[in-house]
Amino acid sequence: MGASIGNGGAHRHRPGQTRAMSEINVTPLVDVMLVLLIVFMVAAPLLTVGVAVDLPETASQPIPDQGEPLTVTITSDGTIYVQETAVEIDSLVPQLEAIASAGYDQRIYIRGDQARSYGEVVRVMGKINAAGFRHIGLVTDREFE
């Protein structure tokens, strides 16, 4: 059995020069991808709902998904949000009209916290309806028996 020491003169290596490495170390790449996967798995449920409200529960069937919904949210303290932007009741209709003029013609979903009075939720819905928006839906949680 023989063993060779060095490179046997086949490939001369000059001092001060480094040789290119022919292997790619994929371990750091896999580590980064796993961390990103975990981050997105944790963050994805938080991205679906903009403003946290305690929705009432009903036994109604869900509406089929029709794209990106426009939501008007009424929180337990009475703050009104269009998507995630807080608005005053008087500027609600102009804001919705500006969105509609940009080409939005889908259903508007109203999410009312169950701690708010029914009258306040209906008042907001009435303002939206009086402004000419006819496709309005109320969002609730699914009732479990």
> In this predicted model, what pLDDT tens digit does every residue of 74-113 receive, in sequence order?
988 889 998 888 899 888 888 888 888 877 777 888 888 8
> In this predicted model, what pLDDT tens digit does every residue of 65-80 receive, in sequence order?
666 778 888 988 889 9
**Residue 33: which pLDDT band, with cuts at 50, 70 and 90?**
very high
The strand pair at 108-112 and 70-74 is best described as: parallel
Instruction: Tell me what percent of the residues of the chain surpass a pLDDT of 70.
Output: 69
Q: What are 133's two structure tokens?
A: 């928006």
Domains and CATH numbers, the chain: 57-142 (3.30.420.270)
Instruction: Tell me what percent of the residues of the chain surpass a pLDDT of 90.
Output: 6
Please tell me the pTM assigned to this model: 0.55
Q: What mean pLDDT, rounded, does the chain reach? A: 77
Separation in Å, CA 52 to CA 28, 73, 79, 84, 91: 37, 9, 12, 10, 22
Closest CA relative to residue 80, chosen from 116, 129, 39: 116
Number of H helices, E strands in the chain: 3, 7
